[in-house]
């Protein structure tokens, strides 16, 4: 746990001195409070300490035994106010002000567990005599609480009237000897520990909620709520937090609702299962998982489910998206370009895409959704990091990038992956990171993952057409790449409905290049003919293609050629006979996404409005004769 607290402190200070937190909210207090035992109100929510929710909160209801806590500061003092406290009950506040080691046990002893390593404790009694400042000291190698060596509080520093106390503590009393750039803190009333601040802490001794304060901006002291999970917890709260730490020491803990983190999300020694919820990282937040520690595997932390972050890609640079595992290096290739703009990336883990042949991807996916379609003259280098347990036994040296059209929701349903390229750095063994260079900005949008080089699914046909010729039918098909492809049976449906094998065409085994095939069926009779391909793997597994139809003889729709494929803005159709033809385009889910009516023998069909992906174009001619072809839209 000590390493956890130190990590969080070092992280926040790195943000501070890196200038990332430049827009912290300003507290409304302008003048330092007067220590007179009375909290002055200018309205029901505004006080000399500041506004409710920013510089003071109410724990319970003041009129019914609750407490109001007040906290603000200037360059010299920290100011504390408490309303609703019995004269015999001390108020105790703990602070973490440095990156040095502190204590998670309170001044009362081990009965109190703190969510951070405290180095300062302030006890606010009813008088100067019952109040003190304690600091953490190292004696004989052990950390312990001791009274601060500076002069004890005087009657000018603490004033109590009725159930209200006010106290000021000089920053020089702290171990830092000055106002720290940032600090963490919490408070409670001792003697049947209750009325805590933050108020979400239960009336117990194992606290999990606390506040984080950024002092140079005089930021509100009650605004940045943070959380450290108890080691005994089975569930985690959602909501909005600054720092959020989980070190549960058990196999899995579950998130109960959506979570937003503005600082650091720290996970060790457990798996956080988000379920149907999403963890969102704010602009400057980062994710700290140690998911690949092969030496101390029990220290590994992992988030199972969805983690999202949005960043504005509006200039050249490297964008890490909070270290969720996908890094984009953007570089313009010309002075005139369009950047992706606000880009949302959602990481999905715990699922695997498996094709019908049993080949799989890794169990990590990134949904990349830019607000603007980037220019093709924008070069993007993609670095994808994965956890060792997500690799699904795929050899590291064979991992390659695969991309599918971006779905409307975070789901793998309907995905159709195509290989985009292998790791440009080599085998990537040991680093668990694969890099793909020279991705044009227009192709950035999509669903990205890794799989073995060569399509991880059945051999993907990019085209399968049947064209009528004189007393014959010419079949053409093409593949984008092949993996263990033995070849194709060409089959025609007989009148009784059974399928007859006409021939077997050998495949190219494993190839990352596109391949074209052709077969001329000279035995086809007049009328409507139906064809399909049976793709066979080297291990005997088979996959059936879609069925294509063609009219032979007087019913023929004519020779039909579709090009180019892949295409970006339009397709050219040639070989159609004169007369009216209906054209329909279907996506991989069988949904019609476009339709056209044609009358020319050669024409062009616009497809620039279609998302990138694989489609089938079907032409129906005179007498309802039809033919189909598949194409790839980039």
What is the predicted pLDDT for the residue at 478?
Answer: 87
Confidence at residue 24, expressed as pLDDT on a 0 to 100 scale: 40
CA–chain centroid gap for 131, Å, is 47
Q: In b/e form, how buried is each residue of 101-129, taking b as 16+ CB within 10 angstroms?
A: ebbbbbbeeeebbbbbbbbbbbbbbbebe
Residue whose C-alpha is closest to residue 2's, from 107, 79, 115, 152: 115
Question: d(Cα 393, Cα 553) in Å, to the nearest integer?
Answer: 53
Q: What is the mean pLDDT of residues 217-227?
A: 88
Phi, psi of 307 (to 5 degrees): -130, 130
What does the pLDDT average to over 573-579? 70
Cis upstream peptide for 300 (omega within 30°): no
Q: CA–CA separation, 305 vs 348, rounded Å?
A: 5
pLDDT value of position 357: 55
pLDDT per position as a tens digit, 114-164 = 999 999 999 999 999 999 999 998 776 789 999 887 777 889 999 999 999
Nearest to 214 by CA among 3, 9, 53: 9
For residues 575-584, one letter each, b for 16 or more C-beta atoms within 10 angstroms of the residue's C-beta and e for the rest, the string is: bbeeeebebb
**Contact between 241 and 262 (Cβ < 8 Å):** yes
Could you count the other beta carbons within 10 Å of the beta carbon of residue 325?
Answer: 24
HEC per residue, 101-126: CCEEEECCEEEEEEEEEECEEEEECC
pLDDT band at 501 (very low <50, low <70, confident <90, very high): very high
The CATH number assigned to the domain with range 461-633 reads 2.60.40.3080
What is the band of 425 on the pLDDT scale with cuts at 50, 70, 90? Answer: low
348 or 389: which leads in pLDDT: 348
CA distance 574 to 582: 14
Tell me the backbone φ, ψ of residue 209, rounded to 5 degrees.
-105, 145
Contact 112, 106 (CB under 8 A): yes
Q: How confident is the model at residue 239 (pLDDT cuts 50, 70, 90)?
A: very high
| Window from 10-14, 72-76, 562-566 with minimum mean pLDDT | 10-14
pTM for this predicted structure: 0.69
Please report, for the chain, the start and end positions of each structural domain, with discontinuous segments joined by +: 2-225, 235-452, 461-633
Q: Which residue has the higher pLDDT, 363 or 584?
A: 363
pLDDT tens figures, 378-403? 889 999 999 988 988 888 778 889 98
Q: pLDDT, tens digit, for every residue of 511-532?
A: 767 789 999 999 988 777 888 8
Place of tokens 């990537």: 428
Q: How far apart are CA 605 and CA 573, in angstroms?
A: 8
């Amino acid at each position: 746990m000590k390493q956890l607290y130190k990590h969080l402190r070092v992280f926040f200070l790195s943000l501070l001195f890196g200038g990332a937190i430049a827009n912290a909210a300003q507290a409304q207090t302008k003048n330092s409070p007067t220590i007179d035992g009375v909290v002055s109100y200018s309205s029901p929510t505004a006080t000399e300490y500041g506004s409710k929710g920013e510089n003071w909160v109410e724990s319970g209801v003041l009129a019914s035994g609750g407490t109001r806590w007040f906290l603000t500061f200037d360059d010299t003092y920290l100011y504390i106010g408490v309303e609703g406290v019995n004269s015999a009950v001390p108020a105790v506040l703990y602070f973490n002000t440095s990156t040095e080691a502190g204590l998670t046990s309170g001044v009362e002893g081990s009965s109190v567990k703190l969510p951070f390593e405290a180095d300062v404790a302030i006890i606010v009694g009813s008088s100067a005599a019952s109040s003190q400042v304690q600091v953490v000291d190292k004696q004989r190698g052990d950390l312990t609480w001791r009274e601060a060596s500076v002069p004890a509080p005087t009657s000018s520093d603490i004033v109590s009237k009725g159930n209200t106390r006010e106290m000021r503590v000089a920053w020089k009393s702290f171990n830092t000897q000055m106002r720290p750039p940032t600090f963490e803190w919490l408070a409670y009333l001792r003697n049947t520990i209750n009325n805590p601040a933050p108020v979400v802490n239960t009336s117990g001794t194992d606290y999990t909620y606390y506040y984080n304060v950024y002092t140079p901006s005089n930021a509100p002291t009650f605004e940045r709520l943070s959380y450290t999970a108890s080691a005994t917890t089975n569930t985690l709260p959602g909501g909005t937090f600054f720092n959020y730490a989980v070190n549960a020491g058990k196999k899995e803990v579950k998130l109960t609702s959506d979570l937003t983190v503005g600082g650091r999300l720290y996970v060790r020694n457990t798996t956080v299962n988000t379920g149907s919820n999403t963890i969102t990282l704010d602009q400057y937040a980062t994710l700290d998982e140690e998911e690949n520690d092969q030496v101390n595997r029990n220290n590994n932390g992992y988030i199972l489910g969805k983690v999202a972050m949005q960043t504005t890609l509006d200039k050249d640079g490297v964008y890490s998206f909070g270290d969720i595992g996908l890094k984009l290096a953007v570089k313009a290739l010309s002075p005139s370009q369009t950047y992706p703009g606000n880009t949302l990336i959602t990481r999905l883990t715990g699922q695997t895409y498996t094709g019908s042949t049993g080949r799989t991807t890794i169990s990590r996916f990134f949904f990349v959704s830019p607000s603007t379609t980037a220019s093709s003259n924008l070069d993007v280098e993609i670095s994808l990091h994965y956890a060792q347990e997500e690799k699904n036994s795929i050899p590291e040296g064979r991992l390659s990038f695969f991309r599918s059209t971006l779905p409307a929701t975070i789901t793998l349903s309907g995905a159709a992956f195509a290989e985009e390229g292998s790791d440009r750095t080599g085998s990537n063994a040991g680093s668990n990171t694969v890099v793909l260079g020279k991705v044009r900005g227009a192709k950035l949008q999509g669903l990205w993952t890794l799989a073995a080089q060569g399509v991880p699914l059945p051999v993907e046909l990019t085209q399968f057409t049947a064209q009528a010729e004189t007393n014959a039918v010419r079949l053409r098909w093409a593949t984008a790449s092949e993996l263990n492809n033995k070849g194709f049976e060409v089959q025609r449906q007989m009148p009784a409905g059974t399928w007859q094998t006409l021939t077997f065409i050998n495949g190219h085994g494993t190839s990352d290049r596109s391949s074209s095939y052709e077969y001329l069926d000279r035995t086809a009779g007049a009328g409507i003919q139906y064809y399909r391909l049976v793709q066979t793997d080297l291990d005997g597994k088979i996959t059936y293609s879609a069925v294509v139809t063609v009219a032979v003889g007087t019913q023929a729709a004519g020779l039909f050629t579709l090009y180019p494929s892949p295409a970006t803005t339009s397709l050219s159709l040639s070989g159609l006979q004169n007369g009216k033809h209906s054209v329909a385009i279907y996506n991989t889910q069988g949904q019609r996404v476009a339709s056209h009516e044609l009358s020319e023998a050669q024409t062009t069909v616009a497809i620039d409005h279609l998302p990138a992906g694989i489609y089938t174009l079907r032409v129906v001619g005179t007498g309802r004769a039809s033919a189909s072809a598949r194409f790839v839209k980039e």
